[in-house]
Amino acid sequence: MREVYFIKQNKEKWLGIEQVIQGKIKKNPDDLSSLYINLINDLSFAQTYYPKSNTTVYLNHLSSQIFQKIYKTKRVEENRLIYFFKTEVPLLVYQYRRYLLYAFLFFILFTSIGVLSAIYDKDFVNIILGESYVNETIENIKNDNAVGVYQSGSTWGSTIGIIFNNIKVGAKLYIYGVAGGVGTLFALLSNSVMLGSFQYFFYDYGALKDSARGIWLHGVFEIFAMVVEAMCGLILGASILFPKTFSRFNSFKKGFKDSFKIFLSTVPFTICAGIIEGYVTRHALKMPLALNLVIILGSLAIIGFYYFVYPSIVHKKTNKHIDDAIL
């Protein structure tokens, strides 16, 4: 069969499947499975007779999308919350992985600006952090207690306040993305410059090691989550600026839905960061250095794996299921 005729014969069906994937047409799990099997047959035919054609690429992409749609709608015994974190979010992170890269590049750039600003302007840290905070921290450093600022207040009271504050900061990083991503970048700039100048401040007073032992106990989860939240804001902004084949409104709806799911995935890490900061960081200089390193490196391994490595594993596993179905 000539490819042109093959396309003409199945075009309406494929467009209908696109509508289902986009949520414009509702189908139950059984109907979705039938559509998937039908589409796999078309893909198998195209791979046999038009292996290097754009039609084959298109059908492969369509098959992958409807397979994920089935995963999301089929009746499974698996807990919905487990599925959300185990499969749905990793697939979205993989799909939008370049935005995570962009967010990290901006974070590194903005943090470097904070460091350089603190190096060349000795009053910069006072402006960014506030004189009272800086003076208190200097006194703590003189008393060999660089993390003294984390020891004030009750553990549970500090924890609750920290968690709510960090969620508020993360929400701003995300929601400000509606301004085409510019608001997100501004919020990321503000927080990253603060971090960079803060760390150089400790270095300047010879307390970088002690500060790092405390700050990064909770900082790994907190800062990494902040970058992921910035990623979500960039996705939101891009959905408005670059709608591609969607209408701008539909692109925004899709961008908001996808980015919000990724944003929600940061909340457990933000809560963990708050608990660590409220209960553990205050004891940072009393605990063995090895324990500090275990917590810091362990936290980095967990969150780094979840957002950098695991999405690729889930994506490959999903594609393998598709390949097995074709074969």
**Is-contact 234 301, C-beta < 8 A?**
no
Cα–Cα dist 267/171, whole Å? 10
At residue 167's C-alpha, the angle toward residues 237 and 202, to 5°, is 100
* pLDDT given for residue 321 in this prediction: 53
Which of 88, 69, 92, 89 is closest to 20 using CA atoms? Answer: 69
Cα–Cα dist 192/4, whole Å? 54
Distance of CA 4 to the CA centre of its chain: 42
Cα–Cα dist 274/253, whole Å? 31
* pLDDT given for residue 294 in this prediction: 97
Cα–Cα dist 71/83, whole Å? 9
Return the DSSP state at 281. Answer: G
**Is-contact 283 69, C-beta < 8 A?**
no
Cα–Cα dist 42/63, whole Å? 10
Return the DSSP state at 286. Answer: T
Cα–Cα dist 267/40, whole Å? 38
Torsion of CA 211, 117, 222, 139, to 10 degrees: 30
Return the DSSP state at 88. Answer: I
* pLDDT given for residue 77 in this prediction: 43
Cα–Cα dist 314/327, whole Å? 20
Return the DSSP state at 242. Answer: -
Largest pairwise CA distance in the chain: 83
Query: DSSP string covering 135-196, please?
Result: HHHHHHHHTT-TTGGGGSS-HHHHHHHHHHHHHHHHHHHHHGGGGTTHHHHHHHHHHHHHHH
* pLDDT given for residue 325 in this prediction: 45
Which of 301, 304, 296, 108 is closest to 216 using CA atoms? Answer: 296
Query: Domain residues of the chain, as ranges?
Result: 3-75, 96-313
* Total length of the chain: 327
Cα–Cα dist 70/180, whole Å? 32
Strand, coil or helix: 271: helix
**Is-contact 177 235, C-beta < 8 A?**
yes
pLDDT along the chain (327 residues), means of 10: 81 83 70 74 81 84 77 59 89 95 98 96 90 90 87 81 94 96 97 95 92 94 98 96 85 93 97 94 92 97 97 82 47
